[in-house]
């Protein structure tokens, strides 16, 4: 179903449970490629398009992938393919995460340059630079990254930018490298910690120093493991904002509050009351939001993956808000769609200037990427009248059963096929 129809203007009420984090599941699934004749079992794995694509990719490489409910078991044979098929890699940006473990395990890897959401340039040069420092020989031939190394060697690597993907790829490559690898200026996102937990459980000594540095001692082989994927902080925040925008009372369960501190700080700033009770967070009905300024930053800063949803909320705030996007280029494509619903958003370079309006009106809009689609759904829930969000295929990449969860909160939503 590629279209969501929303009858807006209804305050949401109730409780939803957070899914497993897509951005944590994908790298730990890729980490199974480090195994040889062993198994990795993961629980709390969300049922999403991107997760299915990763399972297909791993299967194409020779992994036996099986799902039972929220549990995914990945059985890895003694031999796997080192060539990733282009048809699958181009579907998803996170396909690049198989490069490091494949190269470390097989001594070579071939990876077509990956696809994914159209939110600006997201090159993998930091991934490649780090692997070269570890002794890999890398060429790009006809759009394919061709890498080779008899055995990677531990090195001290400094990342020019704390890239999440580069940090994950190099951590996995270092797991089977000879000697100790020290990676500095790493990403500090919770998903990095989740990967470290999984690698440790596979027998890899890892020291996360808490100062943007990780030390990894390579091993000759890794062991079978069973671990849990952490809750999805972006999904949790999206449902909290749905409650805020509709003037409802919404509780999100299975949250790690420390992972969403940046949103909670901004909610307090705009005048929203909330309560944290263990792993549950509740937002309460509020008067009109107050305007704020924010800048997206790597964790623990405000996440770029929550920027479009926050912009939708601020479109209804009193006064003028400003959002500066410092992580990804071209992440304001959703603004034109929100403006179709009556929002007043002007883009000036890497900044969105949002003049709050009193209400939004339903309209036909298109999701340009995953988080843009979520922002449009939130706007539709708060708008007067009917909103139709097209190209929902983007949303299915990151939100499990979003229609079911919204209906459980009292939203009037339905799915339909695209009849264009």
Active site residues: 117
Q: Is 329 exposed, middle or buried (0-12, 13-18, 19+ CB in 10 A)?
A: exposed
In whole angstroms, how far apart are CA 392 and each of 76, 171, 182, 360, 386? 33, 33, 41, 20, 16
Question: In this structure, what are the phi and psi dihedrals at residue 207, rounded to the nearest 5 degrees?
Answer: -120, 110
Q: Which of 266, 232, 255 is nearest to 45 (CA)?
A: 232
Name the one residue in this structure whose structure tokens are 């969000």. Answer: 389
410's CB contacts (< 8 A; 6+ apart) are 10, 11, 12, 13, 14, 248
Q: What secondary structure letter does DSSP report for 176?
A: T
Q: How far apart are CA 30 and CA 138, in angstroms?
A: 20
3-state secondary structure of 81: coil
Q: How far apart are CA 150 and CA 164, in angstroms?
A: 26
In whole angstroms, how far apart are CA 249 and each of 258, 266, 281, 409? 21, 18, 11, 9
Using alpha carbons only, give the angle 348, 304, 228 rounded to the nearest 5 degrees.
170
């Amino acid at each position: 179903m590629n279209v969501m129809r929303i009858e807006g203007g209804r305050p949401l009420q109730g409780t939803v449970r957070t899914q497993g984090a897509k951005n944590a599941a994908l790298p730990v699934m890729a980490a199974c490629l480090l195994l040889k004749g062993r198994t990795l079992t993961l629980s709390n794995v969300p049922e999403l398009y991107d997760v299915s694509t990763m399972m297909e990719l791993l299967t194409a490489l020779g992994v036996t992938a099986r799902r039972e409910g929220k549990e995914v078991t990945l059985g890895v044979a003694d031999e796997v393919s080192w060539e990733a098929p282009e048809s699958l890699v181009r579907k998803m940006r996170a396909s690049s995460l198989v490069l490091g473990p494949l190269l470390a395990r097989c001594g070579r890897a071939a990876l077509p340059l990956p696809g994914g959401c159209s939110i600006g340039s997201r090159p993998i040069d930091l991934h490649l630079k780090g692997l070269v420092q570890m002794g890999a020989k890398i060429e790009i031939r006809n759009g394919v990254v061709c890498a080779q190394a008899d055995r990677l060697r531990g090195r001290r690597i400094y990342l020019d930018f704390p890239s999440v993907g580069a940090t994950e790829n190099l951590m996995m490559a270092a797991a089977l490298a000879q000697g100790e690898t020290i990676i500095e200026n790493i990403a500090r996102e919770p998903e990095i910690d989740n990967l470290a937990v999984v690698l440790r459980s596979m027998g890899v000594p890892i020291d996360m120093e808490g100062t943007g540095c990780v030390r990894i001692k390579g091993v000759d082989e890794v062991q079978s493991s069973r671990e849990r994927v952490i809750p999805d902080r972006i999904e949790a925040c999206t449902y909290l904002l749905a409650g805020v925008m509709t003037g409802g009372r919404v509780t999100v369960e299975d949250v790690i509050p420390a992972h969403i501190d940046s949103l909670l700080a901004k909610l307090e700033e705009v005048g929203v009351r909330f309560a944290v009770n263990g792993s549950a967070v509740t937002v309460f009905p509020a008067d009109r939001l107050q305007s704020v300024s924010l800048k997206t930053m790597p964790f623990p800063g405000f996440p770029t993956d929550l920027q479009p949803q926050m912009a939708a909320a601020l479109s209804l705030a009193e006064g003028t808000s400003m959002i500066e996007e410092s992580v990804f280029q071209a992440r304001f494509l959703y603004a034109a769609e929100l403006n179709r619903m009556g929002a007043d958003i002007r883009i000036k370079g890497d900044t969105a200037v949002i003049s709050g309006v009193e209400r939004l009106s339903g309209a036909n809009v298109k999701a340009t990427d995953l988080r843009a689609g979520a922002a449009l759904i939130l706007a539709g829930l708060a708008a007067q009248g009917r909103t139709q969000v097209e190209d929902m295929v983007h949303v299915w990449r990151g939100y499990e059963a979003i229609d079911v969860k919204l209906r459980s909160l009292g939203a009037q939503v339905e799915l339909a096929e695209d009849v264009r």
